[in-house]
Structure 1
Amino acid sequence: MFYVSMFFQYIGQYMKTRLQYRADLFVEVMSDLLFQAVNLIFILVVFGHTQFLNGWSREEIIFIYGFFLVPFAIFTSFFNIWDFNERYIVKGEMDRILTRPIHSLFQVILERIELESLFGALTGIAVMIYAGTKLDLVFHWYDPFIFILLVLGGALVYAGIFIALASIGFWSDARTSIMPTMYNIGNYGRYPVDIYNNVIRYVLTWILPFAFVGVYPAAYFLGREEWYGYAFLTPFMGILFFTMSIFLWNTGVKRYRGAGN
């Protein structure tokens, strides 16, 4: 209950801060929506030259992209730690975090919350509804519950990967970071992995499992029965990678000796 209370207190303070500058908040939301629109236009341009991409239709690709936006929006809203190394290790703010009687990762996550990114989830759902209508998809009463389960699994996969990357900062205080590169690699998960060669497909499934954020869970709703096994593996992959990242973080914190050393 203590952590729940702290969470809502942070949320309350965040909303007060953001609503002080409404124009800035509006610009950020619009820029985020524009970025998503550009990615969607790219898909439409690709399919302007072909009807199918390795057996996938345009509407199926659009549906996968829409699904991808939902867990990605949750990740960017609550796990926005791309600058952890620069801000908390190099500049020494981790020392401040460790003086408080609350888990260090929980504090870092709450300090970096960007709730306006949740609008991306609404965009993703709208895109899915559009593509699903075009594909005449049939949904059952239990599908919303499966959707929530798969979305949370995908968000945990993303969070686990980037928390693990942030934890590297405890061993290396260099200013350079592989975070931007990893963000770009993550975008591969919003396309069907069978359009890539076997090496890339293996990496996106078992090493950097970004495929569990987009294509694999979306395959369930698209009726791709050959990928149902991967789809229902999504929550387990999310829990596994997130748990591993927490272990790596805690190990790194024990090694941390402060910004002055």
Structure 2
Amino acid sequence: MFHIRLFWGYFLQYMKIRMEYRSDFLVQLATDFLFQAVNLVFILVVFSHTRQLSGWSQEEVIFIYGYFLVPYAIFSAFFNLWDFNERYIIRGELDRVLTRPAHSLLQVIMETMTPESLIGVVTGFLVMGWAAWEMDLAVAWYDPLLFLVFVLGGAAVYGGIYIALTSISLFSDSKTDIQPIMYNVSNYGRYPVNIYHKAIQLVLTWVMPFAFVGFYPASFLLDDQRWLTFALLTPVVGAIYLFLGVRLWNWGIRNYRGAGN
């Protein structure tokens, strides 16, 4: 309960700050929306040259992309660790965090969260809704519950991987550039995994399992039974990678030497 109240306090404080500059806040929402729209246009351009992509129709690929936006939006909102090295390691702000009683990772997450990124959830639902309408997709009574479980599992996959990558700087005490590279790899998870080479499929499933963020659970919601087992493994994979990410973070904190040391 202590951490829940602390998180809520941080959230309210953040929204107060953002509402002081409402125009900037609204521009940020519009920018995020347009960014996702550009990626949707890319899919439409691809299907303007072909009717199917490895057996997937335009509506199915758009549905998978729309689903991907939901866990990705949650990840972007609450695991905004892109400038951790610059802010907390190079500038030494992590020393301030470590003097407080709350868990260091939770404090970093609360200080860097960007709730406006949740606009991606709305965009994802709109994209999925349009694709489902075009396909006349049937929805079972258990689909909303599984959808929630899959989304949380996908966000945990993302969160665990990026927490682990962020933790590297706790050992090196220097700026690393691996996160932008991993971001480019993660984009592969928003499309059907079977359109890639088998080596890439292996990486996206068992090494950097971004396929569990978008493709596998979305294929289940599309009633495609070929990847049923992988889809049901989504929350398990998410829990494992989040656990490993937090463990690596805790290990890094124990080995952190402090700024200027």
TM-score interval for Structure 1 and Structure 2 normalised by the shorter chain:
over 0.9
Q: Does 1:38 align with 2:24?
A: no
State the partner residue of 2:217: 217
Residues 85, 177 of structure 1: 8 Å contact kept: no
Q: Distance in 2 between matches of 1:108 and 1:133?
A: 40
Structure 1, unpaired ranges of 5+: none
Amino acid at match of 2:29: V
SS in 2 for 1:54: coil
Residues 66, 123 of structure 1: 8 Å contact kept: yes
Is the alpha carbon distance of 1:176 and 1:246 closer, same or farther for their aligned partners in structure 2, counting shifts above 3 Å? closer
Q: Distance in 2 between matches of 1:175 and 1:168?
A: 9
State the partner residue of 1:127: 127
Q: Distance in 2 between matches of 1:103 and 1:175?
A: 23
- Which is worse superposed, 172-181 or 240-249? 172-181
SS in 1 for 2:172: coil
State the TM-score, normalized to the length of structure 2: 0.99
Question: 4+ residue stretches of structure 1 with deviation over 3 A?
Answer: none
State the partner residue of 1:235: 235
Q: Distance in 2 between matches of 1:170 and 1:12?
A: 29
State the partner residue of 1:118: 118
State the partner residue of 1:140: 140
How do 1:74-223 and structure 2 match up within 5 A? 74-223=74-223
Structure 2, unpaired ranges of 5+: none
SS in 1 for 2:260: coil
Residues 169, 176 of structure 2: 8 Å contact kept: no
CA deviation map 1:25-49 (0-9, x unaligned):
0111111011000000000000000
Equivalences, count: 261
CA deviation map 1:94-133 (0-9, x unaligned):
1000000110000000001101110110110110010011
State the TM-score, normalized to the length of structure 1: 0.99
Identity of aligned residues (%): 58
Displacement after TM superposition at 1:257 (Å): 1.1
Residues 190, 211 of structure 2: 8 Å contact kept: yes
SS in 1 for 2:241: helix
Amino acid at match of 2:61: I
SS in 2 for 1:52: coil
Q: Does 1:4 align with 2:19?
A: no
State the partner residue of 1:24: 24
SS in 2 for 1:53: coil
Amino acid at match of 2:208: L
SS in 1 for 2:201: helix
